Amino acid sequence: MIRIIALLIMLIPGFLAAYGIKLMRDMVFGILQSPFPYLWLQFLAGLLFFVVGLGFIAGFILHRDRKKNKVQPRFQRKNGKG
């Protein structure tokens, strides 16, 4: 049950990043989505969604690999925390 919950938690940022890519693509083709009054605002929101979603997933993978000691020495923590 815990793995299913973890999978659902990881799907939310993935969908957020995918929606951000869609918003940026629509801006390139001039398609304005309803909650945004301007194309440039739509692009900035899409970029923000993409960066936040991708950053969350990347941070999760880095945290998991640090716990399993599968990262290069430059990505390991310098102090004893973690």
> pLDDT tens digits, residue range 53-63?
999 999 999 99
pLDDT band at 75 (very low <50, low <70, confident <90, very high): confident
Q: Which two tokens stand for residue 51?
A: 């960066």
**In whole angstroms, what is the distance from residue 7 CA to residue 69 CA?**
22
What integer is the mean pLDDT of 61-77?
89
Segment 48-73 mean pLDDT = 93
Rounded Cα–Cα distance for residues 13 and 37 (Å): 25
* 10-22 residue pLDDT tens: 899 999 999 999 9
> In the predicted model, is pLDDT for residue 81 greater than 80?
no
Q: Domain segments of the chain: what residues?
A: 2-75
Residue with tokens 């398609």: 31
So what's the pLDDT on residue 73?
87
Q: DSSP of the chain, one letter per residue?
A: -HHHHHHHHHHHHHHHHHHHHHHHHHHHTTPPPTT-SSHHHHHHHHHHHHHHHHHHHHHHHHHHHHHTT-S-GGGS-SSS--
Question: How high is the pLDDT of residue 79?
Answer: 75
